[in-house]
Amino acid sequence: MTASLLLQAGTIPANAKPVVGGVAIAYVVVVAIIGVYATRRTKSAADFFVAGQGIGLFTLAVASMAATLSGFAFIGGPGLVYSVGIGAVFIVLPAALTNSMGAWVLAKRLRLLAEVREMITIPDAIGVRYQSPAAQGLAAFAIVLAVIGYMATNLLALGLVLDATFELGRGTSIWLGAAIILAYSVSGGILAGIYNDVFQGILMAVASVMVFVFAMHSGGGLDGIAHTIMTHDPALLGPFGKLTPLAALSLFFVFGLGALGQPHVVHKFFMLRDPRHLKWFPLLMTCALFLTLLLFVGVGLAMKALVLSGGAPALATADEATPTFLLRFTPLPLAAIVFSAVAAAIMSTVNSFLSIGAAALTHDLPLAFGARVTDELRWGRIWTMALTVAAGLLAQQSGTLVAFLGIFGWGLFASTLVPALAIGLNWKGATRAGAMASIVTGLVITLGLESLAYFKVFTFPAGVTATAIALVLSILVFFVVSWFTRHTAAATLAPDVCAVMDA
């Protein structure tokens, strides 16, 4: 979904580019230092893929926030608020609920499973839960497919930001961004990614708060913004904005429940040093998201009020809300920090995708075929490079293909992993057949419905998303097939896994 939510080349005026470029270079230097530090601490496959299970709770919360938001929180989100009003908030409203479910439904069980079994990936957990290398392989296949598409959209986004700053050309900028991410990912693995996520997450939160203050000031405070919008376009401040109630609730469902199947975030639960600290995860994660999402809501509403009152020119596209506001109503150094924060958010997400994709290719798919890679650290680095090259080549095809792959990615993660993983780790009646059927259903239905929706062959009424339908069908298939094969449930569940589920 990211490809259409970007800074477009040429957005940054010439007089601003030296400052923006200077901040961007300083950011790259920090990333390089972190990468060198992480490389020295990466000695094994466990270090490369799960940070040696040695990160603290604060680090986990900030890194998870950074990986969750990507560039959408800074560009696409404010643009959506500008277009549809309060209805866009239904994307972020489930945050506290999702964080609580993530901690109590998934995180504890995943971390305890890693204590009783040797696991480094999300498909590992599925394979262990159902005692099925085939289920593990299916999950890994779906992850790799979605990862390449998601990475392509994010590399295209990063390339557009770099091109807007340095005028290197889109192709060169894409490969420069890919090289920066690859440099610390292939050497330090997820450990470098985690440390960079913390730096990037703090940068995102600080920038968001500062911009929110300027947004409120420019619009005359919340009262002034609300009065202006109510006078000119009151539908924006209705309970669902300009969305239908069904569309808004569909967003709540997809981003609430579907977030439990996003492996680039869920995978980080394996890395926690002490699972007893998880009780504080929902609070820390929700606070981090709240601070970072202030810009999401504040800039969207402030720019709408400014345009309606004549304080700013009408926007050509809604995605220009953030760049226009930054360059007109904030100090240039702050605008430069936010542009760097956009790149930071994108890089955090790409690094997380690289880690889970390389793990699936190095670890999960070979196990599904009865083999095991002898040097997982070396092959993890090789597959990291291969995935980056593949995504970079796709990113250069910046039209229909990349946009479709980005849309496909989120829905595929949700529909293939939520039933088998999130529900399966909490329901002893789940069976191997149910898990595999739900993964296949999610894969086929998501591909089919998203293709029909994207090419406008068919769309569901009232704004219901294809992802929501695919997720519902995948969950239904999971329950129905598990019920019909319920006589195999006991044989599907190993005693140590059962003990973890009871803990």
Dump pLDDT digits (tens) for 61-103.
888 887 777 766 777 788 889 999 999 899 888 877 788 888 8
Enumerate residues 6+ apart whose C-beta is below 8 A from 25: none
Identify the CA nearest to 82 among candidates 184, 203, 215: 215
Q: In this structure, which topology does domain 2-502 adopt according to CATH?
A: Sodium/glucose cotransporter (1.20.1730)
For 471, half-sphere exposure in the C-beta direction (CA atoms, 13 angstrom radius) is: 29
Amino acid at 136: Q
Mean pLDDT, the chain, whole residue set: 83
Confidence of residue 468 (pLDDT cuts 50, 70, 90): confident
pLDDT the model gives residue 5: 41
pLDDT at 7: 43
Q: What is the dihedral of CA 480, 482, 487, 488, to 10 degrees?
A: 160
| Nearest-angstrom CA–CA distance, 305 and 446 | 38
Alpha-carbon span 10 to 439, nearest angstrom: 42
Lowest mean pLDDT among 31-40, 61-70, 468-477: 31-40
Torsion over CA of 215, 219, 224 and 229, rounded to 10 degrees? Answer: -100
Region 372-382: what's the mean pLDDT? 83
Say how far apart CA 61 and CA 286 lie, in whole Å: 9
DSSP string, 67-90: HHHGGGGTTHHHHHHHHHGGGGGG
How far is Cα 289 from Cα 293, in angstroms, rounded to an integer?
A: 6
State the pLDDT at residue 131: 94
Parse the chain into domains and list their residue ranges: 2-502
CA angle 181, 187, 189 (to 5 degrees): 75
Mean pLDDT of 154-182: 80
Dig out the tokens for 22 from the structure.
């200077």
Which 8-state DSSP code applies to residue 55? B
pLDDT of residue 134: 94
Across the chain, how many H-helices and E-strands are there?
23, 0
Lowest-confidence pick of 218-227, 344-353, 367-376: 344-353
- Mean pLDDT over residues 474-485, rounded? 97
Give backbone dihedrals phi and psi of 145, rounded to 5 degrees, phi first. Answer: -60, -45
Alpha carbons 472 and 216: distance in angstroms, whole number: 39
pTM: 0.84
Mean pLDDT of 170-177: 86
d(CA 382, CA 401): 26
Specify the 3-state DSSP secondary structure of 238: coil
pLDDT at 74: 77
Which pLDDT score is estimated for 196?
76
Backbone angles phi, psi at 157, to 5 degrees: -60, -45
Amino acid 48: pLDDT: 57
Q: Please give the structure tokens belonging to residue 416.
A: 């293939």
Least confident of 189-198, 284-293, 332-341, 394-403: 394-403
Q: How would residue 123 be classed by pLDDT, with cut points 50, 70 and 90?
A: very high
463: closest CA among 240, 301, 300? Answer: 240
